[in-house]
Amino acid sequence: MISQWVYALGFALLTPALIAWRDAYDWILSHGRFRERVYVLGSGEQARNIVAAIRSRSDIGMEVVGWTG
């Protein structure tokens, strides 16, 4: 049997670690050096949708450098 203090200790340790990890991830993605630069090949509606999706989501770590559209 695991006592209740083990759950409380785990929660107390993992919550700040998760918050720190998310802050570090956001900090890393905010710097252009760590973003993946992509070039989208295509000129149709699907290519436009992909470019719009990438540009609207800064949290995925991608930057559209160009596209044939």
What pLDDT is stored for residue 4 in this prediction?
81
Question: Whole-structure pTM over 0.85, yes or no?
Answer: no
Per residue of the chain (69 residues), what is the pLDDT tens digit?
778 889 889 999 999 999 999 999 888 888 778 888 999 998 889 999 999 999 998 888 898 998 886
What pLDDT is stored for residue 39 in this prediction?
94
The secondary structure of 8-50, three-state, reads HHHHHHHHHHHHHHHHHHHHHHHCHHHCEEEEECCCCHHHHHH
Cα 37 to chain center, whole Å?
A: 14
What pLDDT is stored for residue 11 in this prediction?
92
